[in-house]
Amino acid sequence: MIFQPYSRKEPMLRFAFIIACSWLFGFIPVAQAGPLDESKAKAHLQAIAAGDLNALMRDYPEDAYMDWVGGPLDGRYRGKAAIGEVWKKFIAANHGKPRPAKLGKLESYSNPKGTAFEVAAEYGGEKPVKAWHVLVYRDGELATEIWQIAPAIKIAP
């Protein structure tokens, strides 16, 4: 049999050929976390542990928002300036010193509009904190962040 992708005799083969070519040439986006977004998420988590305000603020757009659920920083924060104030308080709670951090596995969920990362974390320091994080990146920027204080969270080895 001669391969004829446009033959009326083989409609499924033709369909598969069209889908394969579309995917191959980029007409159908494949949803996956990009290495850039993942490296930014990891850098953000490292900046939290380090207490590095400049690194923490690097990826937020002006219209970013954060929901911090539980603990003394509980609240909804809208805009880069408001989020910066939250981080200043978090860093000050440990006297500006780095916190030892234990992070769970970074999970990613993507589609063509953006990538969300989730991870469980334990931050040491003067007042240890256990949290569940969700970081949502759109167009390479940290558009949304959720901190869920989770005292009972367990970090898988």
| Separation of alpha carbons 98 and 125, rounded Å | 8
The larger pLDDT score, comparing residue 2 to residue 77, is at 77
Q: Are residues 50 and 19 in the same domain?
A: no
Q: Is 14 helix (H, G, I), strand (E, B) or coil?
A: helix
Q: For 41-70, b where at least 16 C-beta lie within 10 A, e where not — what string?
A: bebbbebbbbbbeeebbebbeeebbbebee
Work out the pLDDT band at 2, boundaries 50, 70, 90. Answer: low
Work out the pLDDT band at 14, boundaries 50, 70, 90. Answer: low
Residue 37: its pLDDT value, please? 79
Tell whether 114 is covered by a domain.
yes
Determine the length of the chain.
157
Work out the pLDDT band at 15, boundaries 50, 70, 90. Answer: very low
User: Can you give the residue range of the structural domain that contains 14?
Assistant: 1-29
Percent of the chain with pLDDT over 90: 74
Name the maximum alpha-carbon separation found in the chain: 75
Work out the pLDDT band at 35, boundaries 50, 70, 90. Answer: low
Residue 103: its pLDDT value, please? 96
Domain count, the chain: 2
Q: Are residues 3 and 65 in the same domain?
A: no
Q: Are residues 60 and 119 in the same domain?
A: yes
Q: Is 155 helix (H, G, I), strand (E, B) or coil?
A: coil
Tell whether 157 is covered by a domain.
no
The larger pLDDT score, comparing residue 119 to residue 156, is at 119
Of 91, 123, 119, 121, the closest CA to residue 107 belongs to 119
Question: Is the predicted pLDDT of residue 32 greater than 50, yes or no?
Answer: no
Question: Is the predicted pLDDT of residue 43 greater than 90, yes or no?
Answer: yes
Q: Tally the C-alpha atoms within 13 A of residue 8's C-alpha that lie toward its C-beta.
A: 0
Task: State the average pLDDT over residues 47-65.
Answer: 97
Tell whether 155 is covered by a domain.
no
